[in-house]
Each structure stands twice: as C-alpha cells, then as structure tokens.
Amino acid sequence: MNERQLRILRELGELGSVTAAAEALSMTPSAVSQQLQLLQRPIPVPLTEREGRRLVLTEAGRALAAAAVEVETALARARRVVDEFVDRPDADVSVAAFHSAASTFFPILLRDRTGSGRPRLSLADEDVARDDFPKLTRDYDLVIAHHLDHAPPWPAAVTVSTLLLEPLDVALPAGHPLAAKAHLTPRDVAGEPWITVHDGFPLMATVHAIAAAANRRLDIVHRINEFAVVAETVAAGGGLALMPRWTTPRHPALVLRPLTGVPARRHVDVLHRPERLARRAVRTVLAELHRAAAAVQRGADG
C-alpha cells in the first residue's frame, strides 16, 4: 500500500470509473487497474466490485478511500513542514573543525551575526586522526578537515570542497643559525631535534618524507598537536616543527621558512554528507567559510 495507490482508489470512488480516474491522474486505464490489483493483494476483503460494466468501490473500499484523504492531508502537512525546515535561513547549523582551523575560521563566522535571517551556529573543536574526519559528518552539518597532497582521497560517501591549499613551513627560533636561510632542505633540518604531531595525524606524512629525503631518522623529542603549544615549545628551544603558514598566529620569537625537496602542503577541506546542502542555512554557512578562506589567504599574502 502506497500513496499513489490510495490516490487512485480515492479518484475511482469520486469519479465512478477506471477511465475517468485514469484521465484525472494522467495514467492509462490498464495502469490504474494494475495498481488497484497491487493495493488489493494484502487486504483480505474486496475493495472494488463490478456494477454492470463499471468498477465501483465496496464498503471496505469506500472506508479506505476516506482514510486516503486523511493520509494525503497528513503527507501534505509533512511536506510543508520539511519544506519550511529546508528553506529556513535562520536554522541551526553545526560546524566542527580541527584546532588551527577552528581558531582561524570560528571567529570570522561569529562576526556580524546580529539581526534576523542568519543561521544559528553550533561550533565544536574535534582533534581527530585523518581517517576519523569523515565519521564526524554523522554528527555535524559541516566538518573542516585537513590532509596532505599525497594522502588518499576522502571516501565517496562525503562531499568535499577545498578552503585552502596551505603551505607547511619549518618553524624555528629567530636566533637559530638556520633562520638566516631563505629556504630549508631536508638535509638542513634532519639533524635537529623535532616536535611533531602524534602518529595518525596528517602532518606526520611530511615528517616521514623529510626523513626519507635526508636518508636519516629524525630525532623526535616532543609530540604536541596544538600549534599554539608547539610555537611556545619551539620558541623555548625544544626543537623544530612544521607549522601551517596561514592558519596559525605568528609568534614574535619564531620565524617560518619554506621547505624544499619534499611535498609540504596541506588541504584544508570542508566535508559534509550530500543531503546536508538541501538546507538553505547550511549552504549559507558553507559560502561564508569559502569567503573567510579567501580573506585569510589575502590577508596572509598581504
């Protein structure tokens, strides 16, 4: 039993013939008869009967046709509720981001949200391994994630748009001997103590690439994921580190130097389930994120 079959039964009862019902529904009479047969199968009492050459509703058929009116009314009300929800400009939108992206994008999203008609934001930081970002799309409308150039693509179950292609630089104290160089190579930095993220997090692939290019194992002395803490540790002489060029605040005691000889760039992406963009409010926030990313890059380049 489905909505279409109930609609056919209702039209048959109101119009009095298969031909008239078929014409009203833009169907063929044979298609109407087939749908009525499918409707009849699970019902133990006849819904229609012959009255001369006409097919008419039985008492059970008339009762079900009356119920069909209620069903259509309820479905129309449900569709209207869904349409209003989908098209609401001020609906709730949840956004998750890893730490450095959160510190960059969340303040921009929160500015100028006064007045009516703006999505209501629910923001969360999620410091997870690279492979766990797609899972977050179950719980959040938009998930800001990151991965390196040579990492596998995100799974097909999520839709992806890129906010930034962000270079990864070597962070070192301003007084370090290597700070005098305009660019650094893997051989320049491989003999230094290192501060890295934990295993499974995106930047580790570039750390491994540095070691491979220099043909030596790096001396990893500290494991810290939060870049603000990394910056303070580098400034205190704890070692060198990779840091994103645009999405981490500049530390007055540090310098950043580009790294040559290995891929050193990360993608800052927005992940979401395809159906999330059916909602107007989610589309609005996604557009705001892209405008924010363009402003971040312009400001950094300037």
Q: Which two tokens stand for residue 299?
A: 């400001």
Please determine, for residue 61, whether its predicted confidence score (pLDDT) is greater than 80: yes
Residue 44 and residue 24 share a domain? yes
Burial 148-171 (b: 16+ CB within 10 A, else e): beeeeebeeebbbeebbebbbbbb
Residue 261 and residue 214 share a domain? yes
Beta bridge partners of 148: 266
- Which residues have CB under 8 Å from 24's CB, separation 6+? 11, 15
Size of the chain in residues: 302
Distance linking the first and last C-alpha atoms of the chain: 64
Among residues 59, 87, 115, the one where a domain terminates is 87
Mean pLDDT of 110-124: 84
Residue 170 and residue 57 share a domain? no
The CATH number of whichever domain residue 224 belongs to comes to 3.40.190.290
How many domains, the chain? 2
Beta bridge partners of 147: 267
The CATH number of whichever domain residue 83 belongs to comes to 1.10.10.10
Contact in structure between 93 and 34 (CB atoms under 8 Å) = no
Please determine, for residue 301, whether its predicted confidence score (pLDDT) is greater than 80: no
Distance CA(268)–CA(292), nearest Å, equals 12
96, 133, 165, 286 from 143: Cα distances, Å = 5, 7, 16, 10
pLDDT in tens, 204-257: 889 999 999 999 999 999 999 999 999 999 999 999 999 999 988 889 999 999
pLDDT in tens, 34-55: 998 998 888 899 988 888 888 8
Among residues 39, 64, 87, the one where a domain terminates is 87
Residue 82 and residue 99 share a domain? no
Among residues 64, 87, 110, the one where a domain terminates is 87
Beta strand pairing call for 92-97 and 48-51: unpaired
Q: Residue 184 gets which letter from DSSP? A: B
Mean pLDDT of 119-133: 93
SS3 for 95? strand
Residue 133 and residue 111 share a domain? yes
Please determine, for residue 182, whether its predicted confidence score (pLDDT) is greater than 90: yes
Residue 188 and residue 47 share a domain? no
Residue 224 and residue 83 share a domain? no
* Predicted local distance difference test score (pLDDT) of residue 16: 85
Residue 251 and residue 230 share a domain? yes
Phi then psi dihedrals of residue 98, to 5 deg: -70, 165
Q: Which two tokens stand for residue 40?
A: 């009849």
Range of the domain at 76: 3-87
Contact in structure between 229 and 157 (CB atoms under 8 Å) = no
Question: What string of DSSP letters covers 190-251?
Answer: TTSEEEEPPTTSTTHHHHHHHHHHHTS--EEEEE---HHHHHHHHHTTS-EEEEESSSSPPP
Measure the CA angle with vertex 230, ends 224 and 236; round to 5°: 120
The mean predicted confidence, pLDDT, of the chain is 90
Residue 146 and residue 275 share a domain? yes
Residue 60 and residue 190 share a domain? no
Residue 79 and residue 33 share a domain? yes
Residue 194 and residue 46 share a domain? no
